[in-house]
Amino acid sequence: MNGAIAIFAKTKSLSPVKTRLAADIGEPLAEAFYTLSVEAVAEITKTAQKQSDNNFISYWALAEKEALDYKEWQEFSSLWTGEGDLGMRLHTIYSSLRKKHDYVVLIGTDSPQLEPEIIISAIRKLNDQPESCVIGPALDGGFYLFAAKVPITEQIWTKVNYSQSITLEELSSNLAANGITIQLLSSQGDIDTVNDLKPLLNALEANNNLLPAQRKLYRWLQSQTEIFNPKRSLA
């Protein structure tokens, strides 16, 4: 099968990134974290590509049309997500890639601790049950990965409240109402606020097979002792 993986990302020189994290630790540190997280997710995807028995192409799904030719996004092909809220952007990327590929995997940049096997496992599950979709639940009630090959209507995507504790619940309900079964991956954390950084550090520390970009992120987190100090002042 010929598949696609789309990594949703923003260009920090054009759009605010990690805004909730920035409110906790300041914009410069949040942007530094974001850059390292993007590098880690790109390497996770490339490694999965090498290790998987299935062929797939990686794409950046960028929030800004003018960033498509930026040097920082030249590692993969780049697509513009289009206008609209997150649901509409997910629909735009999924539907456009599905026209060219047998299956589509959507991920973000918020879970840099993922192992390549997570992506490979999602594709295997699709092979086993091609009429289903595969979802990676996030611990905060959202999702860190979505994979499918079936038609998914715009309303399934857009009738969801994103970045909420009920996000996955609502998406799952919409899929079920349209007769689409769901297979779940293991639950994983994602990074929205400063409180998510310590679990990320612990997850990276527990992994004996960190990729170089993950190791770089881990060392950076270790060096940022002020982030984990509840008495810090950002004033």
Quick: pLDDT tens for 207-226.
999 999 999 999 999 999 88
In angstroms, the CA 162 to CA 170 distance is 9
Q: For the whole model, what pTM was predicted?
A: 0.94
- pLDDT tens digits, one per residue of 101-145: 999 999 999 999 999 999 999 999 999 999 999 999 999 999 999
Q: Which domains, ranges and CATH numbers included, belong to the chain?
A: 2-228 (3.90.550.10)
Say if residues 159 and 144 touch (Cβ distance below 8 Å): no
